[in-house]
Structure 1
Amino acid sequence: MGRGRDLIDQIDEAQGAKLARFVAGRSSPEEAAGVRAWAAADPAHADLLEALEEVWGLARDTEVVWDPDAAWEEVCRRREARRFRTQPAPAASRRSFSSGLLRAAAIAALVIGGVAIRAIVTRESEQAPREVAMHEYTTRRAQHARVRLPDGTSVVLSVDSRLRVPEDYGRGAREVYLEGEARFDVEHDVRRPFRVHAAGVVAEDLGTVFGVRAYPADTSVTVVVAEGLVEVKTAAPDRPEVAYRLEPGQLARVGQSGEVRVERDVDAADYLAFAEGRLVFRDTPLGEAAAQLGRWYNVDVRVADPELAALPLTASFGPEPIADILNLIALSLGIRHEREGDVVTFRR
């Protein structure tokens, strides 16, 4: 087993993660090409990769991490069964497998790079769906949409947002993928958890009405709860997992590095007002409010300097024309605005 064990010892966590993604079918085309080149460079690499693929095939069918000896025995059994069912390859082209190497691979599949291969891929899958067909719902700037999912869950999609729903949604765990902002009114089912994936964060329904905001330009993902409970956790593989359970009136902000800040006694209705056609700001920095105004009214809203961008804005708007809203903001903050076509600039 010396050669196999030495080879496994040479694989660090980063390489182990690449192999894990490859055997689970989650590599990018570029990364997959790199793994194939790595395997082609050395017969021992190719043997190890094939053994890992065997082990991953077993791991997909089990809910628990099994012990290496049992895994090894099952790999051997399946390999022999497959060879019995197929015609033998010509001797010159058939690779010989070292039982030591394959046994090491079975162990490596559990501990490669110091991290369980199944855990690596599971964490990665929290942020990237499998290569399955998706139904996609999108809104443009100045547009909202209401979506009812097959299980009865209701979604209000805010402006400039995208929701992806796997074609097999509801057959097991109910997973959706959000970019932008949405309110979810979930039909709770303990057997089929409902999870929203957004920018490396997962919000799981525990019987709720809640909102998630994760625009690409945002520095944090926001989850707010109106009813029931929501569990919020980071999901990216390069961060330690952090999980918080939110109750009604609580809000979590998850930063880009995975830090979580929980606010209590917030008015969830303000954060979910977009579902009723209202735009609400509560001590929102003008720079952040400008981005949301642009999405709502399909204009380019700019702030002339950083000091202005930090001014807190508290306001609530309904169906007012954008000209009236701009005037009200300028008046309340003691500033002015200029408009040229679709470009609005706030100045002192």
Structure 2
Amino acid sequence: MKQEQRLIKKYLAGNCTEEEQKAAMKILSQPGSSSLLDEVADEVWNELSDDEKPAIDSEGLYHGIEKELGLTASRSKTSNIKPWLYAACISLLVICTFYFVQKQSVNTPPVPELVVKSMPAGQKSTIILSDGSKIILNSGSKISYPKTFTDTSRIITLEGEAFFDVVKDKTRPFSVVANGVVTTALGTSFNINARGPVCRIALASGKVIINNENDNRKDKNEQYILAPGEALEVNTSAKTTRKFTFDQQSELLWKEGVLYFKNTPLEEIAKRLELWYDVEFQFKSKTGLQKKYTGRFENASLEHVLDNMSYALGFEYFIQGKKVTIINQP
């Protein structure tokens, strides 16, 4: 009986396959089907709360059901069928579905369309968001953001490096999540470099609040506030945090197409050049990797950069396709 009840409920809700519909109609055409409908209607009715139980035009709905099910008019007036229960069964199933959909739409906000943009090595991109904020995405980086922001927040996810120029909106804070570090601002400009375990936030203008969600100690819930010219470096691997002032000219030159190195080890320079020019470095020996170099290059070719560096640091190089081989001299 329980299986038949489930089938009838499914049929009345309009969720049956063609075979299930035929089986349901066969059950409903048999003598004694009225008691089954009674049970189904009672079950549906009991599942509803008082607020969801509607007023029903049972007689009108019953005649409609009679027509739908093909019941003949010769049925005895003294029949023990309860017309209002049939009507209630149909009506309540429809209304249950309506209430469910309505509640889902109220309790579950619509999921906004997500935009994902990735920049391969050797390329950069400028992105304008729906609120007018601007993002300059560096090589080898990726961001995701809603196509249209909600009325209460603006949230971006970053992998790699990007510069953010945020339009001020007091009702919608602008947050960037990178390596578990959340940087929040109303209207400001800042740079985030989140490559590997280190996340570095450098503030150019305005003010930001930074929360490190990687720090899960119960007694630790510290926020960091930066002023222009200040930076915060969070090492999620070593679990260290360092706040300091930075040189805005050198820190933010990348977005202007300028390569800038200041006492930078050759090994670190090679990693940056790999992203900048979409090449791969290979060192014939490990000696000389910690040699440091200072230089500035604006829209320069890879050969020009390596020519200057090789003379200063004493190495030779060969370029074959996208592979650069460095031979350090004693």
1:261 equivalent to 2:239? Answer no
Match of 2:267 in 1: 287
Query: Do the aligned residues in 2 keep the contact of 1:308 with 1:347 (CA within 8 Å)?
Result: no
Over 3 Å counting, the alpha-carbon distance change for 1:341 and 1:247 in structure 2 is same
- Cα distance in structure 2, aligned partners of 1:209 and 1:329: 32
Shift of 1:158: 0.9
Match of 2:118 in 1: 138
1:76-135 deviation per Cα after TM superposition (whole angstroms, max 9, x unaligned): xxxx99655789xxxxxxxxxxxxxxxxxxxxxxxxxxxxxxxxxxxxxxxxxx975311
Letter in 1 for 2:118: T
- Unpaired runs of 5+ in structure 1? 1-79, 88-129
Match of 2:134 in 1: 154
| Selected match of 2:280 from 280, 285, 300 | 300
Over 3 Å counting, the alpha-carbon distance change for 1:81 and 1:174 in structure 2 is farther
Letter in 1 for 2:268: E
- Cα distance in structure 2, aligned partners of 1:228 and 1:144: 25
Superposed, which structure 2 residues align to 1:152-301 within 5 Å?
152-215=132-195, 218-236=196-214, 238=216, 240-257=220-237, 258-264=239-245, 266-301=246-281
Query: Do the aligned residues in 2 keep the contact of 1:287 with 1:303 (CA within 8 Å)?
Result: no
May I ask how many residue pairs the two structures share in their alignment? 224
Relative contact order: is structure 1 or structure 2 higher (C-alpha 8 Å, sep ≥ 6)?
1
SS in 2 for 1:309: coil
Query: Do the aligned residues in 2 keep the contact of 1:290 with 1:303 (CA within 8 Å)?
Result: no
Query: Do the aligned residues in 1 keep the contact of 2:130 with 2:147 (CA within 8 Å)?
Result: no
| Higher share in strand | 2
- Cα distance in structure 1, aligned partners of 2:211 and 2:313: 37
Over 3 Å counting, the alpha-carbon distance change for 1:306 and 1:203 in structure 2 is farther
- Cα distance in structure 2, aligned partners of 1:226 and 1:140: 26
- Cα distance in structure 2, aligned partners of 1:306 and 1:201: 34
- Cα distance in structure 2, aligned partners of 1:85 and 1:270: 65
Match of 1:337 in 2: 317
SS in 1 for 2:288: helix
Letter in 2 for 1:200: G
- Cα distance in structure 2, aligned partners of 1:332 and 1:204: 42
Over 3 Å counting, the alpha-carbon distance change for 1:175 and 1:82 in structure 2 is farther
Letter in 2 for 1:182: A
Over 3 Å counting, the alpha-carbon distance change for 1:193 and 1:81 in structure 2 is farther
Letter in 2 for 1:225: L
Query: Do the aligned residues in 1 keep the contact of 2:167 with 2:186 (CA within 8 Å)?
Result: no
- Cα distance in structure 1, aligned partners of 2:291 and 2:51: 72
Query: Do the aligned residues in 1 keep the contact of 2:130 with 2:148 (CA within 8 Å)?
Result: no
Identical-pair percentage? 29
- Cα distance in structure 1, aligned partners of 2:270 and 2:293: 10
Shift of 1:288: 2.1
| Higher share in helix | 1
Over 3 Å counting, the alpha-carbon distance change for 1:195 and 1:305 in structure 2 is farther
- Cα distance in structure 2, aligned partners of 1:223 and 1:262: 10
- Cα distance in structure 1, aligned partners of 2:287 and 2:209: 36
Shift of 1:295: 0.9
SS in 2 for 1:290: helix
Match of 1:325 in 2: 305
Over 3 Å counting, the alpha-carbon distance change for 1:261 and 1:305 in structure 2 is farther
- Cα distance in structure 2, aligned partners of 1:82 and 1:237: 46
- Cα distance in structure 1, aligned partners of 2:121 and 2:269: 15
Query: Do the aligned residues in 2 keep the contact of 1:139 with 1:159 (CA within 8 Å)?
Result: yes
TM-score, normalization by structure 2: 0.61
